[in-house]
Amino acid sequence: MTTTRAAIHPGPFVSSTRPIPLAEIAPWAVFAAVVALILLYFVSTEQGAFALFDGKSVHEYVHDGRHLLGFPCH
């Protein structure tokens, strides 16, 4: 991307901008999705329905967040 074009926002609901090409977004989208899935797995499910590590310490540590975010806990 070599062009520089200032996007001017005349009002809160209007803007004149070209979209970002989807091909530029794709690798970031895949990477973000993979990282997000791993992080969310540990917050939501580890040592609940499934367990990669033995024990209950991960489950107990994120316990309150898991309940509040609406994930099935124990």
Partner 1 sequence: MTRSLLWRGMLAGLVGALIAATFALLFAEPHIDAAIALEAHHAMGAAAEPEIVSRATQKSWGLFTAMGLYGTASGGVFAILFAGLYGRVAGLSPRALALLLAVGAFVVVVLVPAIKYPPTPPAVGLHETVRMRTAAYFTMLALSGAAATGAAWAFGRLGGRTGLLDRMLLSLATYVGLVAIGQWLLPVVDEVPADFPASLLWQFRLASLGTQGVFWLATADLFGRAAERVTAQGYRS
* Residues found in the chain: 74
Applying the rule CB under 8 A, the residues between 13 and 42 that interact with partner 1 are 13-20, 22, 24-25, 28-29, 32-33, 35-36, 39-40, 42
Give 71: exposed, middle or buried? Use CB within 10 Å, 0-12, 13-18, 19+: middle
Kindly report the backbone phi and psi dihedral angles of residue 3, in degrees, each rounded to the nearest multiple of 5, phi listed first: -70, 140
Interacting residue with partner 1 among 49, 51, 52, 53 (CB under 8 A): 49
CA 69 to chain centre: 14
CB of 52 to partner 1, least distance (A): 14
> Hey, what amino acid is at 24?
E
Binding residues for partner 1, per CB under 8 A? Answer: 1, 3-9, 11-20, 22, 24-25, 28-29, 32-33, 35-36, 39-40, 42-43, 45, 48-50, 55-57, 60-74
